[in-house]
Structure 1
Amino acid sequence: MTNREEVPMENKEITKKDIRKAYLRWYNTVEVSNSYERMQTVAFCYSISGILKKLYDKKEDYVKALQRHLNFFNTQGIWGSPLLGISIAMEEQKAKGSEVADEAITGIKTGLMGPLAGIGDTIDWGTWKPLIFSLAAGFSAKGGIAGFFICFMFAVIPFMEGFYLTNLGYKLGRNAVSMLLESGWIKQLITGSSILGLFMMGALSASTVKLEIPIKFAMGGSTTTVQAILDSILPGLLPLLLIVGIYIFFRKKGQKFGRVVFALLGLCLLGSAIGLF
């Protein structure tokens, strides 16, 4: 008798607890086992190993399943989690007797790990991280303790993202990622998050960056300052020009943060010494 005939099919059913355990393993180890040869392969194999052991009771089948997931794998930890759910769904169908080729399982992972990494980097590292940390910095600059707790949102939000995407990948199987990409809601999410981030960065720049010209001169029988004239034209004009200048520098010269920091430090020291700023 074969393995599938010996084991009742109900014993091969994957539960929510199994998926949750697999995701927790993935979340906690995804960046731990990185190597130049296989990158996140060991973490992925470890994450799915408990489910594979449940699906394949014969040692040779279990070993073959593990070997399927030992190929090179590298993606973004959170948005790569749908591939964990998809792999679980495909392995479950294969264990139940469906004609699921080994190449199909590895091909799905290999083909989609790059696109999902790009989406994850854009949303988590390019949008959520600067948005949350900038918001926390704004609260902390005013002496509030809320900024300390806001930082933890960057741990909570991606964690919940990954948990949802893992379950979504399992429910929708191999069609999960293509459905997500074709539906267009990821593009809308990226666009909306970018717009929100721009609003937040603009508000934080205006309220946090302080740059004034205190030079006084007489005009119309009274004394005024250069800053008062600039404020009458557009409040916060100097901080805006400074931020725009830094942005243009980054666009042309690349993200050379050290140069910008030292240039701003030198400019502020010189301006304060001669009374310009």
Structure 2
Amino acid sequence: MMSKLKKYKVTKKDLRHVAYRWNMMPANLFNYETQQGAGFAWALAPLLRKIYPNDEEYEKALKNHFNYFNATPQMTNIILGSVIAMEEKDGIEAKDAVQSFKTSIMGPMSGVGDTVFWVLWPTIIGSISGYMALQGNPAGAIAWFLVNIVIYLLKVWFVGAGYNSGTKLIDKLGDKIGIFTDAASIMGLSVIGGLIATVVKISMPVVFTFGKVSLNLQTGVFDKIMPGLLPVVLTYILYKMLGNKKFTSTKAIGLIIMISLIGTFFGVFKA
């Protein structure tokens, strides 16, 4: 009876330890039956042992987390924190509630996490860092490295945020994360649009001569319509072609190299 009355109080050190263990394991323990389930259980195992000194309860709680689970790893840190709060408060009686919570929340959280962490920030920071590298500026590589450090620290903080707010944090995020995602999407599109005009270089020095009148195709036609027109057209064509499953990025690179060589040889493009 005394063991049931004395509940273990989770510390900040425990939360950081869970975050460190999870950050190493989302892919390392991935399998096609439970996907991230084993990694989730492994991350919580030492802390669950403290929460459940009783062997039978510990086994049930641990086994519960080996069930199917799959979510964006960064957002899973928030879920981990919320689950810890539930386990600490209600003990083994929260087993079914914990599983229901994980099952219901992993989809919505992945929708947000995939957008922010797999699409937006690699696109924005990667594009900026790549452009700086093309200019011979080492700050591009440094910026990419520093941003990854910030993301790692953010993931550690996420576990504490999820624990301190419990399931309430999920509700709060649901109201505001859409605004943040839309703003980040607009920023990402703006960065990509600027990079297309500055990084993608296409120049056609073809000159049409009519008696004493000459017309440069690049400066007299394309630049008059819109500066950077050809890079935009090329990017759009490649974007549509990559939408076809049979057309890969490797084929796209090969096609660009072939067209560039042939066009330069015949004087269509400027070397």
TM-score, normalised relative to structure 2 = 0.90
* Deviation per residue, 1:100-143 (Å, 9 max, x gap): 43210111112211222222111111111122211111011111
Does the 8 Å contact 1:30/1:40 carry over to 2?
yes
Determine the C-alpha separation between the residues in 2 that align with 1:3 and 1:133: 52
Gaps of 5+ in 1: none
CA drift of 1:167 comes to 1.9
Q: Does 1:3 align with 2:10?
A: no
Q: Does 1:193 align with 2:153?
A: no
Determine the C-alpha separation between the residues in 1 that align with 2:49 and 2:23: 20
Determine the C-alpha separation between the residues in 1 that align with 2:17 and 2:241: 46
Matched residue type, 1:195: I
Determine the C-alpha separation between the residues in 1 that align with 2:72 and 2:16: 19
Determine the C-alpha separation between the residues in 2 that align with 1:127 and 1:79: 15
Matched residue type, 1:78: Q
Matched residue of 1:57: which SS? coil
Determine the C-alpha separation between the residues in 1 that align with 2:66 and 2:57: 15
Distance 1:266 1:127, change over 3 A: same
Does the 8 Å contact 1:86/1:174 carry over to 2?
yes
Matched residue of 2:73: which SS? coil
Does the 8 Å contact 1:93/1:100 carry over to 2?
no
Range 61-70 or range 131-140, more displaced = 61-70
Q: Does 1:180 align with 2:173?
A: yes
Q: What residue in structure 2 maps to residue 86 of structure 1?
A: 82
Q: Does 1:247 align with 2:239?
A: yes
Identity %: 31
Q: What residue in structure 2 maps to residue 216 of structure 1?
A: 207
Does the 8 Å contact 1:85/1:170 carry over to 2?
yes
Range 212-221 or range 51-60, more displaced = 212-221
Q: What residue in structure 2 maps to residue 32 of structure 1?
A: 28
TM-score, normalised relative to structure 1 = 0.88
Does the 8 Å contact 2:86/2:94 carry over to 1?
no
User: How many residues end up aligned between the 2 structures?
Assistant: 268
Q: Does 1:49 align with 2:45?
A: yes
Does the 8 Å contact 2:69/2:106 carry over to 1?
yes
* 2:218 aligned to which of 216, 222, 227: 227
Gaps of 5+ in 2: none
Distance 1:144 1:116, change over 3 A: same
Matched residue type, 1:264: I
Q: Does 1:164 align with 2:157?
A: yes
CA drift of 1:211 comes to 0.3
Range 50-59 or range 81-90, more displaced = 50-59
Distance 1:3 1:79, change over 3 A: same
Q: What residue in structure 2 maps to residue 275 of structure 1?
A: 267
Range 124-133 or range 214-223, more displaced = 214-223
Range 113-122 or range 171-180, more displaced = 171-180
Matched residue type, 2:169: A
Distance 1:254 1:132, change over 3 A: farther
Q: Does 1:122 align with 2:115?
A: yes
Distance 1:188 1:104, change over 3 A: same
Matched residue type, 1:29: M
Q: What residue in structure 2 maps to residue 148 of structure 1?
A: 141
Measured on the aligned residues, the alpha-carbon RMSD in Å equals 2.2
* 2:126 aligned to which of 127, 130, 133: 133
Matched residue of 2:232: which SS? helix
Determine the C-alpha separation between the residues in 1 that align with 2:79 and 2:163: 9
Matched residue of 2:166: which SS? helix
CA drift of 1:33 comes to 0.6
